[in-house]
Structure 1
Amino acid sequence: MTPRVSRTGPRTAVRAVRALVAVLLATCWAALPGAGTARAEDPVTLSASGWITDRARALGAREPGVAAALDRLHEDRGVQLFAVYVGDFSGRTSQDWADTTAQQNSLGRDDVLLAVATGTRQYAYSVDQDFRLSDQVLGEVARESVEPALRRGDWAGTAVGAAEGLDTALAGPGRRDGS
């Protein structure tokens, strides 16, 4: 599997910047159980009440733990990680769906969108073209911190893993700004 990342410009159309950037399209894992009924979802407006939009009702009682991980990332590193869960990406590629959602919600330089389709076990990141981490580091976060949870159908673990992986990466080497 080759991680792919997309970077978007603030308040502009989604750009094809850095072709094979951050995160992988995790393909369908037919051997693993799904999480309820898959439902097609066009790109969404993010929840106004927090960083989690759970249209697939995938988190259940684990939502507070996910929210706490996203809060810690913001408090520690100044990065807002928005986690979106839907049944599927309504015929779009996961990357196109994530980029369109990020654009429609005017996400900025210190924002990350993690989009997860529970019915098809696909996901994608969308980050601004000037995000602080390199594409290589974002790919490592995806492979090491997101994909293992996705393979297990651990929907909460995908966002918690992303938050913890981003936190670790932002604390160390691999930053784009060299600091």
Structure 2
Amino acid sequence: MEINKKTALIWAVTLLLAPAFHASAQTARTPDQSPSTANTLADLTEIQLRRLTYEALTGMNEAKLAYEKTSRVEDRSASGVPTVRSVQGVGAQLSAVLVYVGGAQATARAGEDVPGGYRVKSVSVDRVVLTRNGQDLRLGFSAAAPQGTSDGPARLSSPFPGAAVPFQPGR
């Protein structure tokens, strides 16, 4: 009977230590390599950690996209020709804060569409140019929202008092 207990004890110790020997005998893997099968608790833990990391990154990217969509245009019913409240950013990453009649705002960079059917052609610290139907429009800067629209053709605010003219290239 004593021999059976010793044999059982030897088998139990062998079974308990086998995963540790197996884990130490495995070759080192880089974090990007995925195991073909999860043989040890360490493999399962690594897989779970990687899954949680990817889920967190996915959630963060989704939140960032949602923020960019909501912060870009606060009022989609904005129409008319906007004025520029401010230009922000550095180098080629400049964006303009545009203000529409009624106070609606949109933040946009060069190449992006803004309410009113316009596309931002260029943004610099002293000039914001929109384009629509092939016509370039240079926007004026103002801290206040533009007043109501006129029945005539779309005119732009100008940095010069009393002069609102479309932007003419080459000037």
TM-score by length of structure 2 reads 0.26
The structure where strand makes up a greater share of residues is 2
Question: Which structure's relative contact order is higher, taking Cα pairs within 8 Å and 6+ residues apart?
Answer: 1
TM-score by length of structure 1 reads 0.25
